[in-house]
A = this chain, B = another copy of it.
């Protein structure tokens, strides 16, 4: 591994000059700069990142903390961040809190500590990765952006407008003539779930439709709970199916769709189906889902933008909060 010294010797300058050429091009005369640059090329010199890092305190790495690396929603988020980062020499470390063998909470906490210990330059946390320990973010020392609803405003955050979107979807379903709509919510300990649920039910009330608790099922946001919800529905309302069902996440919707198929219930003929979340990977699901949401890629891009402003120091005020309106996509299922 060729070091800065050798470059200096070959170029016939001091080691400082080489360092300056690398870090502050303008402080070096043109002649010397060219000599140094030639030497660098000739030797194929590349600065040692570890030494730089030790010296400067920067690591050129940011962490992305997500709850489930196998969910296309989160991978699209990750990809959009990596894409935006692709010519910046900043690496991303993925912390997946859903690694089996431990509660997400513990993992989340542990990762949060690692980020600080390792001196990473920044952190993006996707909501569900950190539920229940959001207060830990209150005194995090690393620039951080939270993707999702963060009531304590500990750090910058960006979120979908869960209340308005769910409200909009319910309104759409009602406009299509649905009055009895089953509702598969997310876990009640999630702010996000509660917002979506509130928006959805508010729309019902707004239209003079009462809330029927017997049509509500609390899911986990994950695929398997879509199956469970449908089995529950077919069991409890076998001879009296509602005309529509709304899933608070597309993963559950996908599971539910599969379960309906398995049980011989045809969507949308026998029951209309709608869900939250929009992302690319859904394009090959049949029948096509009618959904509402914000593309994770956009959340990722904007989260990164916020983060970079923090890291670059171009913003250092109080935590910002961005709420994005969702898009309704009408397809085959409702």
Q: Which residues of A contact B (CB under 8 A)?
A: 46, 48-51, 53-54, 59, 61, 69-70, 72, 75-76, 78-79, 82-83, 86, 91-94, 96, 99-102, 114, 117-119, 223, 226, 254-255, 257-258, 261-262, 280-281, 283-287
Taking CB atoms, residues of chain B closer than 8 Å to A101 are 83, 86
In the complex with contacts A50-B53, A119-B50, A70-B281 CB distance below 8 A = yes
Taking CB atoms, residues of chain B closer than 8 Å to A119 are 48-50
Beta-carbon contact of A223 and B49 below 8 Å: no
User: Which of B48, B79, B91, B281 is close to A93, meaning CB atoms less than 8 Å apart?
Assistant: B91
| This chain: copies in complex | 2
Q: Summarize A's interface: helix, strand, loop or mixed.
A: helix
CB distance from A250 to the nearest CB of B (A): 11
C-alpha gap A119/B86 in the complex (Å):
20
Beta-carbon contact of A118 and B49 below 8 Å: yes
Taking CB atoms, residues of chain B closer than 8 Å to A92 are 93-94
Beta-carbon contact of B284 and A254 below 8 Å: yes
C-alpha gap A53/B91 in the complex (Å):
17
Beta-carbon contact of B281 and A261 below 8 Å: no
Beta-carbon contact of A69 and B79 below 8 Å: yes
Taking CB atoms, residues of chain B closer than 8 Å to A262 are 286
Beta-carbon contact of A54 and B46 below 8 Å: no
Extra 16 A-B pairs, beta carbons < 8 Å, given A50-B119, A78-B94: A48-B119, A49-B118, A50-B53, A50-B59, A50-B118, A54-B54, A69-B79, A70-B75, A70-B76, A70-B280, A83-B99, A93-B93, A94-B94, A223-B284, A254-B284, A255-B284
CB distance from A282 to the nearest CB of B (A): 11
CB nearest to A96 among chain B residues: B82
Taking CB atoms, residues of chain B closer than 8 Å to A93 are 61, 91-93
